[in-house]
Chains A and B, each alone.
Chain A
Amino acid sequence: MGVGVHAAEEDVFIGALGLDGLGGVKAAACLGASPLDRFFSVVLPMSKLGYLTAVVLGFAHTMGEFGVVLMIGGNIPGQTQVLSIAIYDHVEALQYSEAHWLAGILLLLSFLVLLAVYTLNRRFSVVGSG
């Protein structure tokens, strides 16, 4: 056939993005939008909330990262030190009160991030079913 990406071949990709926009992409193809055009004008805007969720989850994951930062990142205070390792350091130095404070902050941040993700997901499903 030799016509590059075809509308039908985008199905898998769009399914992976959790998009309910399949019909929308087909419609866009019939309305004269090329594959690249369809991606930027339909797929990307309609999956906006999916990307936002990914960003927030990525941030949350980094916050809890321990081993990689300790081994490779160097754990330089003020530069590459993360919350979880700061707690570890305080515990090592028997500074339990500082460790407790930081643990409390970590708990609060995790809660806020999860709240954000669930809120986004709820809005996302409303968009999807509409």
Chain B
Amino acid sequence: MISVDIHLQKSDFKLEARFDISKSGVTGVFGPSGCGKTTLLRVLAGLEPESQGTVQIGQDSWQSATAFTASERRRVGMVFQEPSLFSHLNVADNLLYGRKRTKINLQGIDLESIYDLLKLRDMLDRDTRSLSGGERQRVAIGRALLASPVMLLMDEPMSAMDQNARHQLMPFLENVVQQLEMPVFYVSHSTEEIARLADNLILMDQGRVTAYGAMSEVLGRVDSPLNQLDDAFSVFECRVQSHDLPHLTSVSSRGGEMLHIPRLQDTRQDQVRLRIRARDVSLCLEQPRNTSILNVLRGEVVAISQLIEQGSRTVKLDIAGESLLAKVSEYSVQQLQLRPGKSIFAQIKSAVLLG
């Protein structure tokens, strides 16, 4: 368990963060710009000595009322928005900077496997100034990992990149977080990146943590702060079933419901993650017929938000054991007489494939 209770007052900004989060998997830290995501990460890295409170990582206390562990002794791998490579060293020396400063018996991460994982082998002799944005960030990630950190902190590693470079870096990030068994904190203001990578979620707004926990749990709250940002979405973990239909791939959810998505490019892929935005889900009382919408799922209403945002409420549905959020106008909620327990058909206009 990672337990944080931190208070930090800066001249024009106040951070008050309190959360307990599982040590396993990727924790997405999400919120609008300037909400304190980066500051929270800096607190974890030990770069905010002015902060007060406690940071407890499993058995280890990194910060308490009486003690403060300096950055260099926390052994965190930090990846900044800007890659922050050492311009006086070449790629290989950058990569080894932290490793040389790690005791041999703590070097749990294999050098060769990181070179392969991030495809670094061909650029070892190069000058860091000749690298592209994506390449720099790969070197920065490699450099952090080679020091065999106990935790990896990534602060919007893709924000300084164009769309194309992001698409290229994403598979590397996914490999890293899947293959390494260490807690990862991933800060982003992109719901796509968060949905794709995260297992746990921390939501922040104006220097405060507004919700935290397992991702499905945080996302599934109908009155979650995410809904107020009009960003509410659900994530479906699906298994690929067949590629029989033209231009389509059929997948099944964990509860056994069939969904159809645009044909996968990589037909060997057997697991997919789908992000379904609440505003792309509409509801019907009867099974719609002759509709152009491919994905119609039978379910039951579980909860309806108290808050009405821009005339709409968020409705949580149970689809064969998985939760799905729908954004429905207050008028429709009244017309369809929606209430918990009611059977319903959900039409999904689009589902974004997250790989």
The answer to whether B82 and A8 have CB atoms under 8 Å apart is no
Question: Is A16 on the interface with B (CB-CB < 8 A)?
Answer: no
B82 partner, pick from A1, A23, A34, A37, beta carbons under 8 A: A23
Partner of B129, one of A24, A48, A130: A130
Interface stretch of the complex, out of A25-33, A61-69, A97-105, A106-114: A25-33
Task: Give Cα distance in the complex from A48 to B84, angstroms.
Answer: 18
B230 interfacial by beta-carbon distance below 8 Å: no
Collect the chain B residues with CB atoms within 8 Å of residue A26's CB. Answer: 47, 71, 78, 80, 84
Within the complex, the shortest CB–CB distance from A58 to chain B, in Å, comes to: 23
Cα–Cα, bound, A46→B128 (Å):
13
Residues of B within 8 A of A12 (CB): none
Q: Size range of the interface on B?
A: 20 to 34
Please count the residue pairs between chain A and chain B whose beta carbons lie under 8 angstroms apart in the complex.
89
* Residues of B close to A32: CB separation below 8 A: 72-73, 75, 98, 101-102, 147
B108 / chain A contacts, CB cutoff of 8 Å = none
A30 / chain B contacts, CB cutoff of 8 Å: 45-47, 71-72, 74, 76-78, 98, 144
Q: Known A1-B68, A26-B78; judge A31-B49 contact (CB<8 A).
A: no
Please name the residue on chain A nearest to B86 by beta carbon.
A24
A57 at the interface (CB under 8 A from B): no
Residue of A nearest to B89 (CB): A45
Pairwise interchain contact A31-B143, C-beta atoms closer than 8 A: yes
Could you tell me if A6 and B87 are in contact, using CB atoms closer than 8 angstroms? no
Q: Are B84 and A31 in contact (CB under 8 A)?
A: no
CB neighbours of B49 from chain A (8 A): 1, 3, 6, 8-9
Chain B residues near A127 (CB-CB < 8 A): 87
A-side interface mostly: helix
Compute how far the CA of A117 lies from the CA of B97 in the bound complex, rounded to whole angstroms. Answer: 32
A: number of interface residues (CB 8 Å): 28
Q: In this complex, which of A6, A7, A21, A32 has the most chain B Cβ atoms within 10 angstroms of its Cβ?
A: A32
Q: What distance in Å separates the Cβ of B103 from its nearest Cβ neighbour in chain A?
A: 9
Q: Does B268 contact A (CB under 8 A)?
A: no
Contact between chains at B47 and A29 (CB < 8 Å): yes
A8: B residues at CB distance < 8 A:
47-50
Among B48, B72, B85, B102, find the residue whose CB has the most chain A CB atoms closer than 10 A.
B72
B70 within 8 A of A: yes
User: Do A24 and B84 form a contact, CB below 8 Å, given A29-B72, A34-B72?
Assistant: yes
Among A61-112, those with CB < 8 Å from B are: none
Which of A1, A2, A27, A45 contacts B84, CB < 8 Å? A27
Cβ A130 vs Cβ B144 within 8 A = no
Q: A7-B47, A8-B49, A26-B47 known; A33 and B72 CB under 8 Å?
A: yes
> B80 to chain A: which residues have CB within 8 Å?
23, 26-27
- What residues make up the interface of A, taking CB atoms closer than 8 Å to B? 1-4, 6-9, 21, 23-24, 26-34, 37, 41-42, 45-46, 48, 127, 130
Give B contacts to A, CB under 8 Å: 45-50, 68, 70-78, 80, 82, 84-88, 97-98, 101-102, 128-129, 140, 143-144, 147
10 smallest A-B Cβ distances: which pairs? A31-B98, A23-B84, A32-B101, A29-B71, A130-B129, A30-B78, A45-B88, A27-B84, A1-B68, A3-B70
Name 30 interchain pairs, CB-CB below 8 A, sorted by A: A2-B68, A3-B49, A7-B47, A7-B70, A21-B87, A23-B82, A24-B84, A24-B87, A26-B71, A27-B84, A27-B140, A27-B143, A29-B71, A30-B46, A30-B47, A30-B74, A30-B76, A30-B144, A31-B97, A31-B98, A31-B144, A32-B72, A32-B73, A32-B102, A33-B97, A45-B86, A46-B86, A46-B87, A130-B87, A130-B128
